[in-house]
Amino acid sequence: MRVSGILVVWLAGLVLMTWALPAGAGGATQPDDRMQWWREARFGLFIHWGPYSVLGGEWNGKDYGKEMGGASAEWIMLRAPVPTPEYHKLAERVRPVNQALKARAAGDESDDHVRRGIAYRDGNGVPRDYAKALACFRKAAERNDAAALDNLGWMYEHGFGTTADQPAAATYYRAAADKGHAQGQWNLGRMYAETSWGHYDNAQAARLYRQAAQSGHRQAQYRLGLAYLQGMGVPADDAQACRWFRTSAEQGHGAAMLALGTMYCLGRGVTQSEDQARAWFTKAVRTGDRLAADAREWLDLRKKPQVPGRFACLNVPHISQGWNLCGVAAATMATAFHGKTADQYEVKRLCGSPLGEGTDWMDIISAAAKLGFQWELKTFPNDQAGLREGRTRMMAWLDTGHPILLDITVERPNRPPAGHTVVVVGYDAAGDRWIIDNPALGPPGIQIYDVPTLDKLWHSRWYSSKSPGTSRPIILTR
């Protein structure tokens, strides 16, 4: 009986999938980032594997693969047919062994240790084991391997296989960054901009983003674009923002596509073009970005005339929040809409609470007063009657032409739920939908909530130390 060529294809595919991914691809913040190499390489592989490979298309002396044009080896159980008990026995004979693979898996090169560490960390082909992953990364890091240093930083930052230690994470990221490792530069920049390790420095973040961006790191390119858009760590420069958004978008980054589309929509840094805006939003839709469809619909919603009681969509300037600054960024959007240009960090200072900590809504109202605005907190019961009353109040307020701050509760996998502030910028009574500007997102920041989504998310007990308990809170801005 001959051995199927499918077995060879499977082994080749295993080699490619296990070892072709660059060692430095570890430590990415999202699964999408870990796919960057595959998109750039234009590589794809479909693997169909089973006991039929042992038969190689033959059963009881008959070549079914040849009879069916070489296309039915995987269907031999059905075509022959092969009795189920006999087919089960074939599984016991599936023992693909390749000495080159075994040698590679047992290799002692730094790359070998890093790849094994990534496999153990992510559970790719082996049971997930953070302790083993950490040991693999440490072996390679002892040889000063940049990818291993970056991955050790990731393990320490998130407490995988060890106690979470952000200063140690930053030390490892810095060591990787100093070796020119783009992912290490990105991760260290992200820590300076986003985490609560106590060393906020947007200028350092932008510097590190630039280094990674120049090496082709599309997340860093996108973040550098945001830095230029909002003047965080670099002078505000719409043209530079567009340059980096475009560079990232051309690498398939969905959020960068949305940001570039927004720049075309608003005519910032580029000639205003609805067609270009729609084209980039559509490209983002095709990447599977779950927010792109809402952004594309917003292109039409923002131009519709307001009809009291039926429709409103306010053109509130979007601001992407700094770390733990959702309430402050939302407030800064509202002040900008009302004609007061302020930086979210300036508003945070006016609130009086330390940078990195959450912001009490009463302090936000106080900060708004210092800027000349009189805002009002309203709460509604966390039940269906409160939902109806709150929706009616929000519609009436939006009809007066003023946005609303809304506090929601977001469920997070394997972590406690968190409070988060968004801005209500419009509604569509015909579809009973609410137009939301979310500061946690990049431009345009638009999400559209239906009533079940609003009902699920709109409740909070963290918005203020004076909160009487869980309710549905809003701030009416004016």
Q: Which domains does the chain have, with CATH numbers?
A: 5-149 (no CATH), 201-301 (1.25.40.10), 311-476 (3.90.70.10)
Give the pLDDT mean for 336-347. 93
Residue type at position 451: V
Say how far apart CA 314 and CA 328 lie, in whole Å.
19
Mean pLDDT (the chain, rounded): 87
Give the pLDDT mean for 209-220. 98
- How many CB atoms are closer than 10 A to CB 112? 19
User: Which pLDDT belongs to residue 48?
Assistant: 61
Give the pLDDT mean for 311-315. 98
- Structure tokens belonging to residue 350: 């006016």
What confidence tier does 202 reach under pLDDT thresholds 50, 70, 90? very high
Q: Do 247 and 216 touch, CB atoms closer than 8 A?
A: no
Q: Do 403 and 424 touch, CB atoms closer than 8 A?
A: yes
Residues 6+ away with beta carbon under 8 Å from 414: none
Greater pLDDT, 453 or 35:
453
Give the pLDDT mean for 125-131. 91
User: Which pLDDT belongs to residue 247?
Assistant: 98
Query: Does the structure show a pLDDT above 60 at 46?
Result: no
- Structure tokens belonging to residue 38: 């595959």
CA distances from 433 to 8, 62, 285, 409, 419 (A): 54, 63, 20, 19, 22
Lowest mean pLDDT among 7-11, 171-175, 270-274, 448-452: 7-11
Greater pLDDT, 367 or 124:
367
Residue type at position 428: D
Using one digit for the tens of pLDDT, what is the confidence trace for 467-477?
A: 878 999 999 99
Which of 7-11, 61-65, 262-266 tops mean pLDDT?
A: 262-266
Q: Which of 23, 213, 11, 253 is nearest to 115 (CA)?
A: 23
Query: Does the structure show a pLDDT above 70 at 122?
Result: yes
Query: Does the structure show a pLDDT above 60 at 20?
Result: no
pTM: 0.79
